[in-house]
Structure 1
């Protein structure tokens, strides 16, 4: 079974729950008391698919603006970005486009996933919801992304989110490998035809009788 690495960055405003999201995915645990992320932290987990193992290397980045320039260092070579916003805080949703543009400026081929956090709060008290699901889905559709509503407290949709990333990346890798193979085969075929074509005059050969 093949093994491939996929770099994932978690983006979003401060206190949207990026660290809690990653802790739930990695360790299956939840804590109400987490420290604000300074710059970035790293952890990884393996997702086993049908014919490949995908190592998701996850970078949890700081959401505070004063760390923005430092966070950009973690975008390099990212293949997936989870843009998080708090379902109970409209301001974090309104900055979603900013985070998308931030990562795509650095890595234009990075695939973005929208993640509405703290679903357990709006499930228990619907009046706390400030971002309607339909509106978030429309934004995700406009930006050609997938949308998940998650809860780090209950684990809602978190495994599904990361498994989707692993699956999408394995397909992307397969397509890239096929494209490279097609390009290489085309080059070899072209070179082979060039060598066999009697009309092609090679260096040092006379041009007579070639046409």
Structure 2
């Protein structure tokens, strides 16, 4: 079960998610629609990196998503690559009306995999579904790309909210299920004498807040 929560200061898990893709595909508006239910028709290209947070509940656990919006301009890519570190989820965004933005997804995916954990959960997002009458990217090609790269796929519209919540929450759910599965494995290994260590959730609010503060600068 997944639901929204307004308790930003108390959480069980903190998950960092990055938005990647060409400039102008709607990454910033996807972020603002999910986190603040806002859409800016006159939004400008992101400079460097920005982030916002959103708290939801999955299986009675409070999940705080820290979502980073990375600039799509080529000149910022060397800067933003450092911000992939620590990400456990990623939304690979393209504009369904601009075929080049879809073609460039492979480059973004390669960069993402090069700079992040191999366990990162990735979803391909065809944004601007409200402009489907101007579609330049056939949905079949998008599905094939996602299947070939073993990532999930969905089409969204930040303007009218179509599938925006569903996209973020699906990725967060995949991350949560993987995290819980890994923790169970670690507990089993500890019993067997393994020295494997992972960051686990904690009930200490002070530790949670400190961990969140650190994540903003990592």
1:116 aligns with 2:121: no
Shift of 1:2: 6.5
1:25 aligns with 2:34: yes
CA distance in 2, matches of 1:64, 1:2: 34
SS at match of 1:187: coil
Q: Is the 8 A contact 2:89 2:172 kept in 1?
A: no
Please name the residue that 1:85 is paired with.
Answer: 94
Please name the residue that 1:194 is paired with.
Answer: none
CA distance in 1, matches of 2:59, 2:186: 23
Per the normalisation by structure 1, the TM-score is 0.84
1:100 aligns with 2:109: yes
Please name the residue that 1:68 is paired with.
Answer: 77
Shift of 1:18: 0.3
1:139 aligns with 2:160: no
Per the normalisation by structure 2, the TM-score is 0.82
| Structure 1 gap ranges (5+) | 189-211
CA distance in 2, matches of 1:2, 1:174: 15
CA distance in 2, matches of 1:82, 1:71: 15
Please name the residue that 1:203 is paired with.
Answer: none
What do residues 111-146 of structure 1 show as CA deviations (whole Å, max 9, x unaligned)?
111000100011xx2xx1111111101110111111
What do residues 39-88 of structure 1 show as CA deviations (whole Å, max 9, x unaligned)?
10011101111231111100000000000011101100100010000000
SS at match of 2:12: strand
Please name the residue that 1:167 is paired with.
Answer: 173
CA distance in 1, matches of 2:180, 2:68: 24
Please name the residue that 1:192 is paired with.
Answer: none
Please name the residue that 2:5 is paired with.
Answer: none
Please name the residue that 1:12 is paired with.
Answer: 21
Please name the residue that 2:204 is paired with.
Answer: none
Shift of 1:170: 1.1
Which aligned runs of 4 or more in structure 1 are off by greater than 4 angstroms?
A: none
Please name the residue that 2:164 is paired with.
Answer: 158
How many residue pairs get aligned? The number is 184
CA distance in 2, matches of 1:52, 1:165: 16
Please name the residue that 1:54 is paired with.
Answer: 63
Give the alignment's Cα RMSD to 1 decimal. Answer: 1.3
CA distance in 2, matches of 1:8, 1:2: 16
Which structure's CA Rg is the greater one? Answer: 1
